[in-house]
Chain A
């Protein structure tokens, strides 16, 4: 856990680096091109010097896939995760960004607790994904309960409105996670899970892959650009996840990630 927290913050994924360089070739703004180069250089410094690529080392969001044949002994799994976060953030000189009470706002001092999502799976493996999430981009995320009659056009409109309203704040170029369907909380979780996908890998569903591509093109026509200073690269990728919905509902959640799209995983 501790190692994953640090690696996620020090080592930007090859998928994101590749997306920077591809976007840099197409970017129309000269400033935008330079920013993309600078972000790649920043990632290189972070990796080689083992320092965080961004000072906001995030809320530690942890996804666990727990094989149902496993029996965990010697203490609680969530306690173990939090202990890993504690150690990883202390020993890695990562910023502690969590307050213990949302209204009283006193820092817990060790970046705990993590937000932990656990899912049961077949087999006897334990998979852990650590995805530190920055506050600036999380703050620009949104959810809306659309009417089924709003359909795909309503979904597109809401995604574009959310990205437009976010403007420069979430540190574009962004990665946009969209969750469509399920219930209120399921849609939000789908949007978060969408951010775990390797940047630019399309959905295996052809209809959703086409929607992702269309949304990416529409977003990049907004002109927001790298850092919001104008340009043709506002998003590096749009990832959409779907789930069955109630006959009365069409929930849509948009979870925005900054360009420091961080996640590391391990399997035990």
Chain B
């Protein structure tokens, strides 16, 4: 199967062309964030303040890496379960977020917000953390260092392999894929 190479930031046009099941290799800057960082971002939005990173056209990778060993750029860095971020996601899509990388199902609210704001959700391979970290070429904390592995990191990635799970048409690979292989 062919792989599409994308470089961040993503434009609306790029996001709109993606379809469920496509393999994508992501290049460029992406940001990490999971439960605690999302909570803090929403608190900022609630109080009308500016976010520590401009999310326009950006991708957030749901990951809490293991500690970096001496000589490594980053520890093992596979995706965490995305559903825990569902409550926060639509607000970030309003801010221009165009992509998310994680694993597992999104809520109907998030799927419909992705359709409305033209964003896509990618799955990385859960548990392939040692291999995934090899695609990460640089890593620095850009917000909330006190959160440790949950801090927002800016990563530069090269050909990070992901698969489109939800596209801007409302498609859902988890539902479609399992329908194909389900047997009575």
Contacts and interface: CB of A to CB of B under 8 A. Distances in A.
A228 B76 CA distance: 22
A133 to B, nearest CB: 13
Contact of A167 (B76, B105, B126, B163): B105
Contacts of B181: 28-29, 223, 225, 230-232
Contacts of B80: 55-56, 136
A46 B130 contact: yes
B92 to A, nearest CB: 21
B105 A53 contact: no
Contacts, number: 152
Nearest to B163: A229
A213 interface: no
Given A31-B1, A136-B104, A169 B180 contact: no
A259 interface: yes
A45 interface: yes
B174 interface: yes
Contact of A39 (B103, B127, B173, B176): B127
Most buried by A among B1, B149, B178: B178
Interface in B27-76: 63-69, 72, 75-76
A57 interface: yes
A55 B64 contact: yes
Nearest to B68: A93
Give the interface SS of chain A, mostly helix, strand, loop or mixed.
Answer: loop
A222 B178 contact: yes
19 contacts: A30-B1, A38-B131, A45-B130, A51-B72, A52-B75, A53-B130, A54-B78, A55-B63, A55-B75, A55-B80, A93-B66, A93-B69, A136-B80, A171-B126, A171-B127, A222-B182, A223-B180, A230-B178, A259-B127
Interface of B: 1, 21, 63-69, 72, 75-78, 80-81, 83, 103-105, 123, 125-131, 133-134, 148-149, 163, 165, 173-174, 176-184
3 A-B pairs with the lowest CB-CB distances in the bound complex, closest first:
A230-B177, A223-B182, A223-B181
Given A95-B149, A228-B105, A229-B165, 7 more contacts: A38-B128, A52-B130, A55-B63, A56-B80, A136-B81, A136-B103, A224-B178
